[in-house]
Amino acid sequence: MIKYPKTYFNIRDTLDCGQVFRFKPYEKGFLSFSLGHCAYVFEEGENVIIDCDDETYWQKYFDLDEDYGAIVSRVMSCGAEKVVKACGEYKGIRILRQSEYEALISFIISQNNNIPRIKSCIEKVCAALGEKYTFGGVEYFGFPTIEQLSKGDLALFTSLGLGYRAEYLKRAAEDLASGKLDLNYLSGLDTASLKARLLAIKGVGNKVADCALLFGFHKTDSFPVDTWIEKIYHEDFNGTLTDRKKISEYFVGLFGEYSGLVQQYLFHAKRTGRL
């Protein structure tokens, strides 16, 4: 069991800000799932409690070795009014250190989709191909391994409600299984080189690539742009660009290595009506 001060760790905001899909409310907090792992995360007094199957795994997953107090101070010093406001409201958001593989597959499934449906599709894939586990009396399906995912055919993925994304998922699974797509190699690339390689994957556009970069490979100098971020750019930053790639580059130019966290502050604040 892990105990961590809650000042810079808000469970709900961290899980519900669009960076991850495999979690659900449970008792006093949430159950969080990653690969084949499970954690029960809840607040108790001034701390977050993580009751889990593997403390080392979840220590890394929730990025508990990073000093978010220092990061928040640096972000707040930028002087951008809207960023300071959003950061003040949601300083407990942490960028999770998800599996590169699970994040990439999840965001391939996520494109042009709403969050409830994304979560449903991912859980259906887990139930169809993943292994069943039990933690604390709760049964759940783990995220399928690359080998397990590669056994799914196009008909199966289509039957799970993935629509046109089924083809992209099947191709990605084949490339991962064959070694054509080597995540260990990719993780060693710089952000620009890695993004170029991700964009070469069938079905991966700028937004999916940026999400995989930030939420899977922990490239924090990435800034995913969706409808909410476009709205923020035009309404709160008085921007005139219309190309999402250029909007992303604009924000990375402003916030550099902290771009990803700024993106999450702004996105969540706008989506919840606090910006």
Beta bridge partners of 25: 30
DSSP 19-59: S---EEEETTEEEEEETTEEEEEEEETTEEEEEES-HHHHH
Q: Considering only CA atoms, which of 46, 63, 45, 59 is closest in space to residue 1? A: 59
Residue 140 near residue 38 (C-beta atoms within 8 A): yes
Per-residue pLDDT reduced to its tens digit, 196-255: 999 999 999 999 999 999 999 999 999 999 999 999 999 999 999 999 999 999 999 999
119, 124, 170, 207: the catalytic one is 207
186/182 Cα distance (integer angstroms): 6
Please indicate whether residue 207 is annotated as part of the active site: yes
Tokens at residue 28, please?
């006093």
Please give the model's pTM, rounded to 2 decimal places: 0.94
Give the full edge-to-edge strand order of the sheet including 37-44. Answer: 2-5, 47-52, 37-44, 29-34, 23-26
Residue 133 near residue 141 (C-beta atoms within 8 A): yes
Per-residue pLDDT reduced to its tens digit, 129-155: 999 999 999 999 999 999 999 999 999
